[in-house]
Amino acid sequence: MADLFGVRTVGTRPERLLQHFAIDGSVPLAKGVVEQSLQYHGEASEYALEGATALACLHQDADTPSSEPAVTIHRYGKGSAVAFAFDLAKSVVLMRQGNPQWQNTEGDTKSGYRPMDLFMRSEGETYFDSKRLTIPQADEKQRFLANLILRLAEKPLPRMWYLPAMHKVVMVNTGDGEANYGPEIAPVLDACASYGGRFSVYLMNWDKARGIDRTSVEEEAAWRAAGHEVGVHVYGGGPDGEGAYDTLREAYAKITADLKGKFAHGARTVRNHTIDWTGWVDMAAIEAEFGTRMDMNYYHYIPCESPIDTRGYFNGTGLPQRFIDARGQMLPIYQTTTQWPDEWFADHKITAEQTVEIITNMFQAARNGFYSAFVNNIHPPRYNAIYAKDPITPVWPHTVWAYCRDQGIPLWSGEMLLDFLEARNRTRLENIAWQTDSEPGAHRLSFDFQAPSAREDLTILIPSGWSGRRLGVLTVDGKAVEVATEVIKGIEYARFTPTAARAQVVADYR
Ligand SMILES: [Zn+2]
C-alpha cells in the first residue's frame, strides 16, 4: 500500500457528527469543484505522505484545516493511484440518506417518524452543517471523483449529462391530495398546464380522505391524457417504530391495489401522508416492492425562524440516485428530494415574494454549477385557498411557473423525471477506442451510443481538448454534427444529443 499510494497510515479519526475536508483547487487535477470545506461521514484514516501529493486535506472543524491529507495522488508505474482517507461512496450515501443510528427515533420536533428525523435531534444536533446547506455537497464530492477519473484516463472519455438536453435545472411539480378529489384537484393541474407544465398528484384512500374512491375514471383519464401523473399518498395511521413496518406495508399494498383497481395503472412515484417513514430505508424498500420507482419523501422541513436561513440541500443533493440499503445493496427506487414544500414557506409566515426569491436564487445557483432537479409540493387544498393561515400557496406557484416558462426551465411531473432517468441510466457508451495518429496529425476517439429507446434529450459530453489537441470534426453515424462547447466544473466539453437509439460516434482531435 505504501508503495502504490505513497502514504503510510498513522492513525484513525473516529467518526464525529460534523466533520469536514477541503479540496485544494490550486492543484490542477483538483480544480473545478467547490473549495469551501465539505462534510464527510464515517471514520477517516490519518495518512503521512511518503511520496504522494495531497489533493484535499482533512479539517479540524469547518474552518480549520489540518495537516493531514483527505485525498492523495501518487504516480506509480504507468498510472496514478488516488487514495481517499474516508470511504467516499459510504459518505455520499450517509449524507443523502441520513444517520442510520437515528432511525425510528424522534428528532425533528414534530411527532411521527419521517426522513427529517434522520438528520436532526430535538436537542439541536444536526447531521448537516447548517452553514453548508446551500451546497449540494454529496453531488460536489462525486463530481470531484468524476473529474479525477476523466483527467487521469489515458484517453478522452465520453459521459452522459445529468439532466435532459443541456438543462441545468428542472422543476418537478407535485401535490399531496389530502382529502381532495376530482374537481378539487383539477384547478392546480390546469393552472400548471397553462404554463406548459405537468404535475404529479398523490391521492389518498384512507378513512374520509378518499381521493381515489371519489375521483371518477373519466376525470383521472383526462388528467393523464393531459400529461399529468396520478400516484398514491399512503397513510399508515400513525404507529411509529415497532409495528410500523407491517402497518405501512399493508397500507401501501392496499392503496396501490386501490389505484390499480380503479385506474388500471401502478404508482410510479410517491410521497407519503405526514411523510410516514420507517427504518433507515425500509419504507423505500416497501414502495419498491409494490412497483414504485421514485420516492419524494426526503422533505425539506427544518424547524427555523425563517426558511430564508435554512433553505438549500439538507441531504446534500439536487440529483436523484437509487437508494442503498444497510447491506450496501442498491434498491430499484430513486431517492428524489423535495426541496420546496408549500407548508414550509407558509408555516414560517414569509411572503409569496420571499418564497419566489428563495426558489429563483436556487435556480440561479443551479445554473451556475449546482445542477439540480428541484421538487415542490403544492397541496391542492392549499392552492385552492381553503386555509386562512396560508395566503401564499395560491400565489407563488404562478410567479414561479411563469419564470420557468420564460427562462426555458422544464416544468415536469415526477414520472417524466423518472422516465428520463431510467433511459439515461440504461444508456451504454461502449467500445470506447482511442487511436493515435489515425491519420497524419490526428487522433481519433470512437464509441457506440446505445439507448433503450430514441429520445431527444440524452446528451453526451466529450472533452473538447486532449493532450494539446482540439476536437475537430465530430460525426454521428458518419454525418458531421454541430457541437457546442461549455466548461463544466473546470473541464471544457463538447456536447451533442443523438436522436436515434443507437449511433456510432467518431471524434477527431488535431
Ligand atoms: Zn398529506
What is the reported pLDDT for 438? 78
Residue 160 CA, ligand 1 centroid: distance in Å: 36
| Residue 100 counted as domain residue | no
| Residue 68 counted as domain residue | yes
pLDDT at 228 over 90: yes
| pLDDT band for position 108 (cuts 50, 70, 90) | very high
Residue 177 CA, ligand 1 centroid: distance in Å: 7
pLDDT at 239 over 80: no
* Long-range CB pairs of 67-75, under 8 A, 24+ apart, other chains included: 69/7, 70/21, 70/22, 70/40, 70/44, 71/21, 71/23, 71/30, 71/144, 72/5, 72/6, 72/7, 72/47, 73/29, 73/148, 74/4, 74/5, 74/6, 74/7
The predicted-structure confidence for 248-304, as pLDDT tens digits, reads as follows 999 999 999 999 999 999 999 999 999 999 999 999 999 999 999 999 999 999 999
pLDDT at 240 over 90: no
| pLDDT band for position 439 (cuts 50, 70, 90) | confident
> Is residue 164 a contact partner of residue 420, using CB atoms and an 8 Å limit?
yes
pLDDT at 134 over 90: yes
> What CATH number should be reported for the domain holding residue 462?
2.60.40
Q: Are residues 354 and 445 in the same domain?
A: no
Q: Are residues 298 and 214 in the same domain?
A: yes
The predicted-structure confidence for 52-65, as pLDDT tens digits, reads as follows 999 999 999 999 99
Residue 204 CA, ligand 1 centroid: distance in Å: 8
What is the reported pLDDT for 443? 96
The predicted-structure confidence for 58-89, as pLDDT tens digits, reads as follows 999 999 999 999 999 999 999 999 999 999 99
Q: Rounded to whole angstroms, what are the CA distances from 24 to 80, 245, 321, 449, 458? A: 18, 45, 27, 35, 32
- Give me the mean pLDDT over the 205-217 stretch: 95
Q: Are residues 336 and 252 in the same domain?
A: yes
The predicted-structure confidence for 326-373, as pLDDT tens digits, reads as follows 999 999 999 999 999 999 999 999 999 999 999 999 999 999 999 999
pLDDT at 241 over 90: no
> Is residue 494 a contact partner of residue 471, using CB atoms and an 8 Å limit?
yes
* DSSP designation for 103: T
- Give me the mean pLDDT over the 417-441 stretch: 94
Query: H helices within 195-306, ranges in order?
Result: 211-214, 217-225, 244-263, 282-289
> What CATH number should be reported for the domain holding residue 76?
3.40.50.880
DSSP string across 405-443: HHHT--EE-HHHHHHHHHHHHH-EEEEEEEEEEEETTEE
Q: Are residues 256 and 381 in the same domain?
A: yes
| Residue 143 three-state SS | helix
What is the distance between the alpha carbons of residues 129 and 155, in angstroms, rounded to a whole number? 38
Residue 234 CA, ligand 1 centroid: distance in Å: 8
* DSSP designation for 104: T
What is the distance between the alpha carbons of residues 301 and 344, in angstroms, rounded to a whole number? 6
The residue from 424, 445, 473 where one domain ends is 424
- Give me the mean pLDDT over the 437-459 stretch: 93
For the chain, how many structural domains are there in total?
A: 3
Q: Are residues 473 and 420 in the same domain?
A: no
Q: Are residues 490 and 378 in the same domain?
A: no
What is the reported pLDDT for 407? 98
What is the distance between the alpha carbons of residues 502 and 449, in angstroms, rounded to a whole number? 5
Residue 467: domain span? 428-509
| Residue 72 counted as domain residue | yes
Residue 274 CA, ligand 1 centroid: distance in Å: 5
What is the reported pLDDT for 243? 87
CA dihedral of residues 460, 461, 462, 465 (deg, nearest 10): 150
What is the reported pLDDT for 251? 97
Mean pLDDT of the chain: 96
Q: What percent of the chain has pLDDT over 70?
A: 100
What is the distance between the alpha carbons of residues 255 and 250, in angstroms, rounded to a whole number? 9
> What CATH number should be reported for the domain holding residue 312?
3.20.20.370
Residue 382 CA, ligand 1 centroid: distance in Å: 11
Q: Are residues 267 and 411 in the same domain?
A: yes
| Residue 271 counted as domain residue | yes
What are 461's strand-pairing partners?
159, 495
Q: Are residues 346 and 371 in the same domain?
A: yes
What is the distance between the alpha carbons of residues 190 and 243, in angstroms, rounded to a whole number? 40
Residue 273 CA, ligand 1 centroid: distance in Å: 4
Residue 170 CA, ligand 1 centroid: distance in Å: 24
Residue 137 CB neighbours (<10 A): 27
